Amino acid sequence: MMNGYGGKILRIDLSSGRFEVQPTPERMAREFLGGRGFAAKLLYDGLDPATEPLSPANMVIIASGPLSGVFLPGSGKITFAAKSPATGGYGDSNMGGHLASELKYAGYDAVVISGAAEKPSYISIDDDRVEIREASKYWGRGAIETEKALLDDLGEDFRVATIGPAGEKLVRFACVSHDFGRQAGRTGIGAVLGSKKVKAIAVRGSKAIPLADPKGVLAKGREMFEACFAKPGFREWTPYGTAGVTDWVNEVGAFPTRNFQSSFFEGHKEINGQRLKEKILVTDKGCFGCPIPCGKYSRTKGIRGSGREKESVYVEGPEYETIALLGGNCGIRDIEDVAYLNHVCDELGLDTISGGNVAAFAIECYERGILNRESVGRDLAFGDAGSVAYLLEKIARREGIGDTLADGVRIAAARFGGGSERFAIHVKGLEVSGYEPRWAPAMMLSYMTADVGAHHNRSWAITHDVATGRDSLEGKADKVIELQHTRPLFDVLGVCRLQWVEIGFDLHYYEEIFPLVTGWKYTWKDLLTVSERVWNLTRAFNIKHIDGFGRSYDYPPARFSEDPVPDGPAKGKCIPREKLDLLLDEYYAKRGWSKDGRPTEATLRRLGLENVAEDLVEQGRL
Ligand code: SF4
């Protein structure tokens, strides 16, 4: 028995219909801790580089962390991971809600799903009882609709994760949905589940998590909750959640606008946190054990051109990223329209970040004459929510133009041609999150070097750019590396980072509670070393799985280095290629990577990844 852990790994082979339960290896737990760490280790060891992301050979890993489900703030985070159909490399996405704790209570630290079922199926995990059940009656239905139906059928004490029609149709940015509006949104894990014909995973658990010092955990957990409540940010941030940052991002010239053509959106005041609160908010909604519920449960009207004008719908959100990508980036200036598009994505099972990017890309293609009324099936325009709703529906069902757009902007641009590669806004195949980086070198470097592609959750460095000078490159590589170790550590431990990021919760608490939970005396530096190990392992995964992977994969789209921002606070700014190279040179050197962005053998060995070094050398990839 390991304290802090469920103690078991559940391996399910859908092709044979069999499952196996193994003890969680202590060495893996000590070296990779859990969550994203387990996902990276299991995928690196388990996947052949020839594995196609949407083939039965791919695996989906669902992993909680050693702090998941424990009495401390925000301990409800879980990782979904697979070889990504968006990038062809390592992919994962982190999700809140109640699945992480439930899985631990059922006794599992990770679920490994491989193979593919013949018929639509769902996986039921009820403590030790595991079943693969027929799911034909749920297939084709919305993600949230399916969650409700399964809870009606199984009982409300189950926790359910689902995919929507987009996952079934293998849309490369399909998400996994849970708790009526929480998503593992990024990197297309929903499509991987769809390729395996898995509509849902239902979990119910009744076991206790063993703790090294239960009384100590109770006392420290209480102290942590009280410290959260005492932070000024608790009252200032919670009423708006992440939507509260909208005006600030616009004021600093970093708000994605009309497919990242600009970084300033004149309509931002109509889609900010204040508008959300005034016009559509019903109540706050939080994840397991969260003292600062950032979820904003809202009610909104249908939109013109959606075919569902008279509908009134509930949605969790929109949170900031959705506001940025389905709002400003699509030129939409009505919070109700943004919320409705959020609802459309949620039911279809689409990531709102990539969804907003892809829709905006299609609209720009239309405005530039690369697409037309005939190829699209209707007119498209920025600012028209009907255009966006139409595109999202087409994408999720792979109908008409939607069939190409469903593969993401990188592949769509290669098919459309006409110079559209210049404004296909992605890195490594993953569409860019809600911070325009042309006047933010640290944020730019964060996108460039993130293992999964351009995702802000690895390193949210925009505040550092604003605080330290946005024309200077000095110190940016150091900060990005620091953030790339600190932020992913939360995914490894299975807890939410927003208590720290948004209200300034002190990091030393995690160092203090970790040994009380596990009995292991890790210093903060030890924990960061685990994070660095995982960072290098996912880079190694990309090197192993993507032919020619290296520096060339780290560059952003040409728009970010060649087209100065046309208006707003960042007017005239972009980061030319020579400066991007300076950033990469410094970053690689500080990480102990080669000029081409590959970890050296010495770096891998220093981090205890000897087997990875040997593997890559044997394959001629180092
Ligand atoms: Fe969930 Fe938001 Fe709370 Fe984090 S801050 S645990 S994402 S509700």
Q: Which atom of ligand 1 is nearest to the CA of 96?
A: 1
Q: Is 315 in the pocket of ligand 1 (CB under 6 A)?
A: no
Average pLDDT, integer, range 306-329: 89
DSSP state string for 556-616: --HHHHHS---SSTTTT----HHHHHHHHHHHHHHHTB-TTS-B-HHHHHHTT-HHHHHHH
Query: Confidence band (pLDDT; 50, 70, 90) for 123?
Result: very high
Average pLDDT, integer, range 388-405: 97
Does domain 8-204 fall into CATH 3.60.9.10? yes
CB distance 171 to 191 below 8 Å: yes
Q: Which atom of ligand 1 is nearest to the CA of 74?
A: 6
Q: Is 291 in the pocket of ligand 1 (CB under 6 A)?
A: no
Q: Specify the higher pLDDT residue, 501 or 251.
A: 251
In CATH, the number for domain 441-618 is 1.10.599.10
pLDDT of residue 116: 98
287 Cα: distance to centroid of ligand 1 (angstroms): 5
User: What is the DSSP-derived secondary structure letter of residue 268?
Assistant: G
**pTM, whole model, 2 decimals?**
0.97
pLDDT of residue 82: 98
Reported as a single tens digit per residue, the pLDDT across 524-583 is 999 999 999 999 999 999 999 999 999 999 999 999 999 999 999 999 999 999 999 999
Q: Which of 225, 238, 294 to mutate to test the pocket of ligand 1 (most atoms within 8 A of CB)?
A: 294
CB distance 237 to 229 below 8 Å: no
Average pLDDT, integer, range 160-182: 98
Query: Confidence band (pLDDT; 50, 70, 90) for 311?
Result: confident
C-beta neighbour count of 99 within 10 angstroms: 29
Angle at 191 between CA 31 and CA 76, to 5 degrees: 45
Q: Which of 79, 101, 234, 292 to mutate to test the pocket of ligand 1 (most atoms within 8 A of CB)?
A: 292
Q: Is 498 in the pocket of ligand 1 (CB under 6 A)?
A: yes
Closest residue CA from atom 2 of ligand 1: 294
Name the β-bridge partners of 385. none
Q: Which of 64, 67, 70, 287 to mutate to test the pocket of ligand 1 (most atoms within 8 A of CB)?
A: 287
Does 220 score more than 80 pLDDT?
yes
Reported as a single tens digit per residue, the pLDDT across 61-112 is 999 999 999 999 999 999 999 999 999 999 999 999 999 999 999 999 999 9
Q: Which sign, positive or negative, has the C-alpha torsion 392, 398, 400, 404?
A: positive
What percent of the residues of the chain are helix, what percent strand, and what percent coil, each to the nearest 5? 45, 15, 40
Q: Which of 93, 284, 493, 498 to mutate to test the pocket of ligand 1 (most atoms within 8 A of CB)?
A: 498
Does 191 score more than 90 pLDDT?
yes
Q: Is 496 in the pocket of ligand 1 (CB under 6 A)?
A: yes
| Spatial distance between the Cα atoms of 318 and 91, rounded to a whole number of angstroms | 24
Q: Is 513 in the pocket of ligand 1 (CB under 6 A)?
A: no
pLDDT of residue 385: 95
Q: Is 395 in the pocket of ligand 1 (CB under 6 A)?
A: no
| Spatial distance between the Cα atoms of 377 and 415, rounded to a whole number of angstroms | 18
**Exposed/middle/buried for 227, CB within 10 Å: 0-12, 13-18, 19+?**
middle
Q: Is 287 in the pocket of ligand 1 (CB under 6 A)?
A: yes
Structure tokens at 137: 């009656």
Average pLDDT, integer, range 149-164: 97
Q: Which of 296, 493, 496 to mutate to test the pocket of ligand 1 (most atoms within 8 A of CB)?
A: 496
Reported as a single tens digit per residue, the pLDDT across 481-499 is 999 999 999 999 999 998 8
74 Cα: distance to centroid of ligand 1 (angstroms): 6
Closest residue CA from atom 7 of ligand 1: 96
pLDDT of residue 501: 82
Does 28 score more than 80 pLDDT?
yes
381 Cα: distance to centroid of ligand 1 (angstroms): 34
Average pLDDT, integer, range 519-525: 96
Does 305 score more than 70 pLDDT?
no
105 Cα: distance to centroid of ligand 1 (angstroms): 20
55 Cα: distance to centroid of ligand 1 (angstroms): 33
Q: Which of 326, 299, 319 is nearest to 311 (CA)?
A: 299
pLDDT of residue 502: 84
Closest residue CA from atom 4 of ligand 1: 496
Average pLDDT, integer, range 376-405: 97
Does 244 score more than 80 pLDDT?
yes
pLDDT of residue 588: 98
Reported as a single tens digit per residue, the pLDDT across 353-364 is 999 999 999 999
Q: Which atom of ligand 1 is nearest to the CA of 77?
A: 6
Q: Which of 185-189, 194-198, 239-243 has the lowest mean pLDDT?
A: 239-243
Does 272 score more than 80 pLDDT?
yes
pLDDT of residue 152: 98
Does 324 score more than 80 pLDDT?
yes
Domain boundaries, the chain: 8-204, 241-431, 441-618
pLDDT of residue 306: 65
Q: Is 293 in the pocket of ligand 1 (CB under 6 A)?
A: yes
In CATH, the number for domain 241-431 is 1.10.569.10
Strand order of the β-sheet with 295-301 is 281-285, 295-301, 312-316
pLDDT of residue 483: 97
